[in-house]
A and B are shown apart, each in its own frame.
Chain A
């Protein structure tokens, strides 16, 4: 492989990683549940692209496998499973009141991404001198932004997407530092993602049926009741 091709692949990978980060921001900010799902699909495609490019760069068949698994499971099977298990209502929901307004959420997200950069660079350097690209810091940023999505969102679908985006982030870092993890493990992790979608879809359906909402984040009846007046109680 010539130096020019190598450079081209590295640059393309950097482009995919940059767009990946952009979709992670989008998932934090997007109000429409369906738009969140579309962003997540775009994110998974970018992850697959990054894996394929790194696969070419390092001539690693295993990374092609990762790309293929991502290409099939997330853009195709996840939406299909969601349609099968959960009520159609979750797509049409819009979140009017988030825990934080969007500019504040984006500012915090930006701070998280910068933090991820400072965390990721020394990690990537410690693994070895060879090319790591921007995957580690951006993967960590994706993980943190997914977790942040979970804390500011209330709607079932956005929460589910937040969880899956966290996993995407971990993988984004993983494809550059843990390149030869083994196909069995990759397949198992992909299957696991699908089980997550299935179980959460079933739960959302139950919540909608028995409670009448899909804004699961607003369920908050379980907490420590304020200490009740104990005057009339007999202390033994």
Chain B
């Protein structure tokens, strides 16, 4: 019971917010439910980190549908963490624009359904059901992306839905082929674990086709280049707390589904799954690093940085060493906590100045010292400055790459990381420190809502702490997650 209990709070909250009530009811319910989810996810992750497991807990037969291992628990924990901070952030951020009750209902109902669909991804063990909840994440978040109903937001939402679903269609064929491969291998239960054990008997051509179809199909939703075109639009036009969810964890939880195939693919070394990951990862990281240099919208800048980080994680997996796998897991964690912080900071800047144009924002540190310092901190953190979380994980990946003798790939990756660093910091520096062009002191910005300030402070803690040391339970969880990536 304890395993699926985590799915109920968001579902109940989605129903509760539809009850007409006082102002603040919907946001309050959402915050409460996301805190409960966070507590449950922490408990589960803790148990996995201590070496426990949830097998057989729900009774016989359930294991074919629901299973949590180290990798699943890690993703669950991250989803719960960002969902909770984004829910608290939403309270002040969304109220700022003056929500009508109908809009507030729409926002929070979709918010909770979106969280529900994401939580279901790491919990489900049956690949086709996972495919369905991946579709649900797109569908539940579409109306959140289009929430502001501007021309741009609608365009972004439309692109997001069409391209994600197009990718999902390709992935569906991949999952069906995977099922056929299972059948050809003599059957067995169609679960992630069942796939791993049946993999050596599967016809390699089926396995390889399925892997490529799923990599391309779901890679669209992860934002891998060249299927990334929708990502900067959707991740910049949505309201900032939604951007934090989309960029911080949605991409990661879809990537998780691709990760599940790596242990399966190791049964067929001739399929070169790791080479595919390495090449796609490097292309994504490289393209995004150069695109970062020419963005004109600071939310798009962070969105491109998401493409870059997905590329880094995939590259790390392609390096194919235990240390690199651990680094990839660490990178998943540091990216989630840091990128969500970045979008919270970007939201604070947006509230302070009212524009997304980088060129229109100058001397932010005078106009809104709080938003300005948050943006600098977020920029440094996501670009990978020491001693922050992303630096530590990127360093671990590069170190593992060199130890493996992948000098070219590691060198390229390091170069892309450096370019991306400059790309982010040039823009952030100009926005925060460059004097305003006309020289006149600009009007003071409105004060940030309390909940936004609170979240900015709380969300900065893991970014700082994970940069100096990884606590023992988290280390155990990361190790368990990395272990799930090999047979």
List residues of A whose CB falls within 8 A of some B CB: 119, 122-123, 126-128, 139-140, 143, 146-147, 150, 159, 163, 166-167, 169-170, 173-174, 177-178, 180-182, 184-185, 188-189, 192, 195-196, 199-200, 202-203, 206-207, 210-211, 216, 219-222, 224-225, 227-228, 232-236
- B136 near A166 with CB under 8 A, answer no
List residues of B whose CB falls within 8 A of some A CB: 126, 128-129, 132, 135-136, 139, 142-143, 146, 149-152, 154-159, 161-162, 165-166, 169-170, 172-173, 176-177, 179-181, 183-184, 203, 205-206, 209, 232-233, 237, 291, 294-296, 300, 359, 426, 429-430, 433-435, 437
How far is A173 from B158 in the complex, measured between Cα atoms in Å? 28
How far is A211 from B155 in the complex, measured between Cα atoms in Å? 10
Query: 10 A-B Cβ contacts within 8 A?
Result: A123-B209, A126-B184, A143-B169, A170-B169, A199-B139, A199-B143, A203-B161, A206-B146, A220-B155, A233-B430
How far is A36 from B35 in the complex, measured between Cα atoms in Å? 47
- B173 near A173 with CB under 8 A, answer yes
- B434 near A233 with CB under 8 A, answer yes
User: How distant is B177 from chain A, measured CB to nearest CB, in Å?
Assistant: 7
Given contacts A178-B176, A178-B179, A192-B135, whether A206 and B237 have CB atoms under 8 Å apart is no
User: How distant is A125 from chain B, measured CB to nearest CB, in Å?
Assistant: 9
- B434 near A234 with CB under 8 A, answer yes
How far is A178 from B156 in the complex, measured between Cα atoms in Å? 35
- B169 near A122 with CB under 8 A, answer no
Option from B154, B159, B203, B205 in Cβ contact (under 8 Å) with A211: B154
Task: Please name the residue on chain B nearest to A124 by beta carbon.
Answer: B180
User: How distant is B220 from chain A, measured CB to nearest CB, in Å?
Assistant: 11
- B176 near A127 with CB under 8 A, answer no
- A219 near B434 with CB under 8 A, answer no
- A221 near B143 with CB under 8 A, answer no
Given contacts A199-B142, A232-B437, whether A221 and B155 have CB atoms under 8 Å apart is yes
User: How distant is A27 from chain B, measured CB to nearest CB, in Å?
Assistant: 14
- B434 near A166 with CB under 8 A, answer no
Query: Which residues of the partner chain B approach A228 to less than 8 Å between Cβ atoms?
Result: 296, 359
How far is A185 from B139 in the complex, measured between Cα atoms in Å? 18
Option from B132, B233, B433 in Cβ contact (under 8 Å) with A189: B132
**In the complex, how many residue pairs between chain A and chain B have their CB atoms under 8 Å apart?**
152
User: How distant is B65 from chain A, measured CB to nearest CB, in Å?
Assistant: 9
How far is A195 from B135 in the complex, measured between Cα atoms in Å? 9
User: How distant is A31 from chain B, measured CB to nearest CB, in Å?
Assistant: 20
Given contacts A178-B176, A222-B155, A234-B435, whether A195 and B206 have CB atoms under 8 Å apart is no
Option from B128, B155, B169, B295 in Cβ contact (under 8 Å) with A219: B155
Task: Please name the residue on chain A nearest to B209 by beta carbon.
Answer: A123
Other than the known A189-B172, A202-B143, what 10 A-B pairs have Cβ atoms closer than 8 Å? Answer: A123-B177, A163-B166, A169-B169, A170-B173, A177-B180, A181-B179, A185-B126, A199-B142, A200-B161, A235-B426
- B154 near A219 with CB under 8 A, answer yes
- B154 near A234 with CB under 8 A, answer no
Query: Which residues of the partner chain A approach B165 to less than 8 Å between Cβ atoms?
Result: 163, 196
Interface of chain A, helix or strand or loop or mixed? helix
- B162 near A177 with CB under 8 A, answer no
Query: Which residues of the partner chain A approach B169 to less than 8 Å between Cβ atoms?
Result: 143, 146-147, 163, 166-167, 169-170
Query: Which residues of the partner chain A approach B209 to less than 8 Å between Cβ atoms?
Result: 119, 123
Query: Which residues of the partner chain B approach A189 to less than 8 Å between Cβ atoms?
Result: 128, 132, 172
Query: Which residues of the partner chain B approach A127 to less than 8 Å between Cβ atoms?
Result: 180-181, 183-184, 203, 206
How far is A232 from B435 in the complex, measured between Cα atoms in Å? 12
How far is A180 from B179 in the complex, measured between Cα atoms in Å? 9
Query: Which residues of the partner chain B approach A174 to less than 8 Å between Cβ atoms?
Result: 172-173, 176, 179
User: How distant is A47 from chain B, measured CB to nearest CB, in Å?
Assistant: 14
- B184 near A227 with CB under 8 A, answer no
- A150 near B166 with CB under 8 A, answer yes
- B172 near A188 with CB under 8 A, answer no
- A185 near B129 with CB under 8 A, answer yes
Option from B154, B166, B177 in Cβ contact (under 8 Å) with A206: B154
Given contacts A207-B158, A219-B155, A221-B155, whether A147 and B166 have CB atoms under 8 Å apart is yes
- B158 near A203 with CB under 8 A, answer yes
Given contacts A185-B129, A207-B158, A224-B295, whether A167 and B172 have CB atoms under 8 Å apart is yes
User: How distant is B422 from chain A, measured CB to nearest CB, in Å?
Assistant: 11
User: How distant is A77 from chain B, measured CB to nearest CB, in Å?
Assistant: 16
How far is A93 from B132 in the complex, measured between Cα atoms in Å? 31
Option from A140, A166, A219, A227 in Cβ contact (under 8 Å) with B158: A219
Task: Please name the residue on chain B nearest to A128 by beta carbon.
Answer: B184
Task: Please name the residue on chain A nearest to B437 by beta carbon.
Answer: A232
Query: Which residues of the partner chain B approach A233 to less than 8 Å between Cβ atoms?
Result: 359, 430, 434
Query: Which residues of the partner chain A approach B179 to less than 8 Å between Cβ atoms?
Result: 174, 177-178, 181
- A143 near B170 with CB under 8 A, answer yes
Option from A123, A216, A236 in Cβ contact (under 8 Å) with B205: A123
How far is A225 from B360 in the complex, measured between Cα atoms in Å? 14
Query: Which residues of the partner chain A approach B426 to less than 8 Å between Cβ atoms?
Result: 235-236
User: How distant is B145 from chain A, measured CB to nearest CB, in Å?
Assistant: 9
- A224 near B156 with CB under 8 A, answer no
Given contacts A146-B169, A178-B176, A216-B158, whether A192 and B151 have CB atoms under 8 Å apart is no
The 10 closest A-B pairs by CB, nearest first: A166-B169, A177-B180, A219-B155, A174-B176, A178-B179, A126-B203, A170-B173, A170-B172, A222-B233, A236-B429
Query: Which residues of the partner chain B approach A224 to less than 8 Å between Cβ atoms?
Result: 291, 294-296, 300
Option from B170, B184, B296 in Cβ contact (under 8 Å) with A147: B170
Task: Please name the residue on chain B nearest to A139 by beta carbon.
Answer: B173
Query: Which residues of the partner chain A approach B433 to less than 8 Å between Cβ atoms?
Result: 236
Task: Please name the residue on chain B nearest to A223 by beta carbon.
Answer: B233
- A203 near B128 with CB under 8 A, answer no
How far is A54 from B52 in the complex, measured between Cα atoms in Å? 46
Option from A140, A159, A227, A236 in Cβ contact (under 8 Å) with B162: A159
User: How distant is B438 from chain A, measured CB to nearest CB, in Å?
Assistant: 11
Query: Which residues of the partner chain A approach B149 to less than 8 Å between Cβ atoms?
Result: 206, 210
How far is A200 from B132 in the complex, measured between Cα atoms in Å? 17
How far is A167 from B206 in the complex, measured between Cα atoms in Å? 20
User: How distant is B425 from chain A, measured CB to nearest CB, in Å?
Assistant: 9
Option from A140, A188, A199 in Cβ contact (under 8 Å) with B173: A140
Query: Which residues of the partner chain A approach B161 to less than 8 Å between Cβ atoms?
Result: 199-200, 203
